[in-house]
Amino acid sequence: MFRLEQFDYSNKTVFLRADLNSPMKEGKIISDARFRAVLPTIKYLLEHGAKVVIGTHQGKPYSEDYATTEEHARVLSELLDMHVEYIEDIFGKYAREKIKSMKPGEVAILENLRFSAEEVKNKPIEECEKTFFVKKLSQVIDLVVNDAFAAAHRSQPSLVGFARVKPMIMGFLMEREIDSLTRAYYSKERPRIYVLGGAKVDDSLRVAENVLKKGKADMILTGGLVANIFVLAKGFDLGRKNVEFLERKGILKYVDWAEKILDEFYPYVRTPVDFAIDYKGERLEVDLLSDERRLFDEYQILDIGSRTVQKYREVLMNAKVIVANGPMGVFEREEFAVGTVGVFKAIAESPAFSVVGGGHSIASIHKYGIEGISHISTGGGAMLTFFAGEKLPVLEAFKISYDKFSSQFS
């Protein structure tokens, strides 16, 4: 795969596909974490005389945070301490003329790529490269740099469509992500512990199944809704309130799948021994084997309990490799952040090589100032797809581009 240092960018127009999709409130971006993650790539390109045209998506159609990239241009301008032009177009004549008029060392950002209908659906590379997006934009760019790891599990024109049209190069963030995830996944060091939490139950089950079958994990610790599904699969009753909630979320159907995983790997999947609920406005911890568990009929589980945190901590402190995705509970409420903070602090303090990902995981790490994790991944879905042993379309596109253009740029 092509790396940044292999190319001469002097006076070249570079399309940089980044993932600056960020949480927004009242039209303002409230976290610049993804912007900061791609700054090294942008600065490198500028220092080497490139004209940088950034493409990103923001939100999904009809969602609250579906917005133009005008605000993204403002945030980037502040971080780079220079003007970043907002181009209110994607690949039309206006955009192409603006790109053609750029000078080396300048940065512009295209309109939200998802304003283009072609960008919303996943299609094979062959179809992506035939899109108007790729045909039109390829007329005014020389090279493509992809630093959008968080979207690497998608196959859309801006992400994979240029692979056989222009050399497609890994940005520094993409390179670091791939190197770190590869190291964790293929490591022979033991024990290798996976911590699966949050609400992406189907993705987490795919990861659990893959790493256990392929001998990549020695133990899986569970939290969040993933834990609830495994607890039900183990035959415990989580009460009417929680079962109804899982059914409303559409994830109760995964209990059978979790059962199949347990049939084959029961001792290697650990579930909480206690949970926390909001009882009359206060955190109350309920042991899974106590009579108090009848409260689960009326109160929703919001976190794992302190005994579970301690048991998980003992496992994590002896690990050599840790992969974690998703919080242990509703960490946004301080009294129910005990599980998430306790587990992530243990990961940070462990001597293990650790990889933690997922938007909510990152948010909780920043919120509670947790330091010491080896690699914090910018991509939740992409990271889970990688550890589920499935191909990431963007990685495949890098390989295809390298095969096509390596003889010209070796």
What pLDDT is attached to residue 410? 62
Regarding whether 211 and 155 lie in a shared domain, the answer is: no
- CA 101 vs. chain centroid, Å, equals 35
Pair 276, 374 in one domain: yes
- Is 336 a member of any domain? yes
The tokens for 324 are 């974690």
pLDDT at 358 over 90: no
- The reply to whether 73 and 154 lie within a common domain is yes
Same domain, 322 and 301: yes
Residue 385 placed within a domain: no
Q: Are residues 59 and 191 in the same domain?
A: no
| pLDDT tens-digit readout, 54-76 | 999 999 988 889 999 999 999 99
pLDDT higher than threshold 90 for residue 378: no
pLDDT higher than 80, residue 180:
yes
In this structure, the answer to whether residues 122 and 204 fall within a common structural domain is no
CA distance 114 to 12: 26
How large a percentage of the chain has pLDDT more than 70? 100
| 326, part of any domain | yes
Confidence of residue 226 (pLDDT cuts 50, 70, 90): very high
> Residue 408's pLDDT is what?
86
- Given a cut of 90, is residue 403 above it in pLDDT? yes
Find, among 373, 365, 375, the residue nearest to 337 by Cα. Answer: 365
Q: How many domains does the chain have?
A: 2
Does 384 map to a domain?
no
pLDDT recorded at residue 367: 83
pLDDT band at 121 (very low <50, low <70, confident <90, very high): confident
Q: Helices (DSSP H) in 85-223: which residue ranges?
A: 93-100, 125-128, 132-137, 157-160, 172-186, 201-213
Structural domain of residue 400, as residue ranges?
2-170+391-405
Mean of the per-residue pLDDT values for the chain?
95
Residues 164 and 207 in one domain: no
Pair (263, 397) in one structural domain:
no
Q: What is the mean pLDDT of residues 178-199?
A: 96
Instruction: Identify whether residues 161 and 185 lie together within a single domain.
Output: no
pLDDT, residue 33, reads 84
Task: Provide the CATH number for the domain around residue 53.
Answer: 3.40.50.1260
Task: Give the model's confidence band at 151: pLDDT under 50 very low, under 70 low, under 90 confident, else very high.
Answer: very high
Residue 39 placed within a domain? yes
Q: Which pLDDT does position 362 carry in this prediction?
A: 80
Q: At what angle do helices 359-367 and 338-349 cross, to 10 degrees?
A: 80
Across 281-311, b (16+ Cβ under 10 Å) vs e yields eebebbebeeeebebbeebebbbbbeebbeb
Q: For the segment 253-278, what is each residue's pLDDT rounded down to a tens digit? A: 999 999 999 999 999 999 999 999 99
The stretch 319-329 carries a mean pLDDT of 96
Show Cβ contacts of residue 57 under 8 Å, excluding neighbours closer than 6 positions: 19, 21, 112, 113, 114, 119, 151, 158
Residue 409 confidence (pLDDT): 75
Is residue 17 included in any domain, yes or no?
Answer: yes
Residue 220 lies in a domain: yes
The mean pLDDT of 326-351, rounded to a whole number, is 95
Mean pLDDT of 271-300: 95
| 165 and 182, same domain (yes or no) | no
| Structure-token match 């512009």, residue found | 108
> Would residue 410 count as lying in a domain?
no
Kindly state whether residues 195 and 144 are assigned to the same domain: no
Same-domain check for residues 359 and 243: yes
Digit-coded pLDDT (tens) for 87-99: 999 999 999 999 9
